[in-house]
Structure formats: C-alpha cells, structure tokens
Amino acid sequence: MSSTEQLVSGASPGDQFYRFLRYGHVLRSLLREFLEEDFLRQVCRHRLTRSQFCFLKLIAANSDLQVGELARAIGVSAAATSKNLDKLERLGLVGRVVSSEDRRAILLSASPEGLRLVRDYERHKAARLAPVIETLGAEKTGQLCDLLEEVCSGMLTRVENPRETCLRCAGYYRPDCVFEKFQGECALKPRRRGEAEA
C-alpha cells in the first residue's frame, strides 16, 4: 500500500514519514532561531526583526530599489513597508531619495552601515556554519543538498497559490535556481537598475 493510499484509508503513514517531519521541523527551527535571530543579535547593535533585516538585505542587494517594488517583493502592504523603512531610516541603515528621472519615484539604498551589517551577518554565519559543513565532507554535503532540492521541488509543485516573487532561499540565489519555475522571480536576486526597468 502506498503512503497516499495509507492516508486515504486512515492508516498511519509510517515511521519514515514522521522521522522526516521531525528532522524537517528541527532544521527549520535551528535555521530560524540559531542563524537568523541569534546571529542577528550578535552582529547588530539595533533591535531588528527578521522582517526588517530581510528588507535591509533586499535593499542592499538591489541599489535604487523603489518602495513599491520592495512592497511587492516582500509581499506586504505599502503601510507595513513604510513602517519598516521608517525604522531602518531612523537607524541610519537605509536612505530614501527622489529619483532624478521621475520625481514621483522614491529610490532606496543601503547606507554604508547597512551594507556593513549585511556583510558582517553573512561572515558571522559562514564562520559558525563552515565547521559543520566541513565535518560532513563534500560528498555527504552534495548528497544532502541534492535530496533537499528534490524534496523542496516536490513540495513546491503542490503549492496551489504560488507567490509573485520568491524569497524562500533568503537571498542565496543561484543562476540555475530550480525554484523560480514554481515561485516566480527571486526577489533577493541581485540586479542592476537597468535590468529591473527592462
């Protein structure tokens, strides 16, 4: 009996199914808490939320981003975007200027301190995680990544309402990303202003 037939018949899907869910949840919580929250507190003297740091990272990756583009990419309202930008601007992490080409457009850019914060966060994360990856070795790491990509792709094929833009990789974009076909263009993909307009 297949796992789908087991679920339909009311039978338990089996130990491997729950083992997968267990370790999937553990990995998710470790990545979210250990990496994002703890590391952000260690490198940032400001009290930023994960959402605010995501805003900063997106702005740092894309110079001269417009406020409307940012709101669409993050998938939040204009009011929530403005509130988060107000805080980032008060802290001196981002700046807003009126476009010289279109006075209705407000362009965003990360300040030197904002860029430094994003760089420090990534360096700190790499320094803490590199030993874990090195312990696994290249072969196991490659196998794990292949399996994770396969699982993620399988899950994304079943998403009924795909997002307009994708933020799932947190900005670790690859040109051959397999998830773009399921979720749309990566919102954290670094791009130049001319590419965005085109």
Q: What is the dihedral of CA 180, 182, 188, 190, to 10 degrees?
A: 10
Rounded to an integer, what is the distance from CA 16 to the centroid of its chain? 28
**pLDDT of the chain, 198 residues: tens digit per residue:** 555 555 555 556 788 889 988 988 888 888 777 666 677 777 777 788 878 888 898 899 887 788 888 887 777 888 888 899 999 999 999 998 888 888 888 889 999 999 999 998 888 888 888 898 999 999 999 999 999 989 988 888 887 776 666 667 766 777 777 777 776 677 666 654 444 433
Residue 23: CA count within 13 A, CB half-sphere: 7
Pair 169, 188: CB distance under 8 Å: yes
Closest Cα partner for 35 from 175, 113, 144, 130? 130
Q: How far is CA 79 from CA 65, 68, 75, 118, 166, in A?
A: 17, 11, 12, 24, 21
What is the structure's pLDDT at 164?
A: 65
What is the structure's pLDDT at 8?
A: 52
Rounded to an integer, what is the distance from CA 55 to the centroid of its chain? 10
What is the structure's pLDDT at 194?
A: 42
Residue 21: CA count within 13 A, CB half-sphere: 5
- Tell the CATH topology of 11-192: Arc Repressor Mutant, subunit A (1.10.10)
What is the structure's pLDDT at 42?
A: 78
| Residue 75 identity | G
Residues 38 and 131: their CA atoms lie apart, in Å, by 18
What is the structure's pLDDT at 2?
A: 54
What the block records as the tokens of 69 is: 């583009």
Q: Where are the domains of the chain?
A: 11-192
What the block records as the tokens of 142 is: 């490659």
What is the structure's pLDDT at 163?
A: 65
What is the structure's pLDDT at 162?
A: 66
DSSP assignment of 78-130: HHHHHHHHHHHHHTTSEEEEE-SS-TT-EEEEE-HHHHHHHHHHHHHHHHHHH
What is the structure's pLDDT at 139?
A: 95
Q: What is the dihedral of CA 94, 71, 78, 66, to 10 degrees?
A: 50
Closest Cα partner for 125 from 17, 16, 30, 14? 30
What is the structure's pLDDT at 112?
A: 95
What is the structure's pLDDT at 193?
A: 44
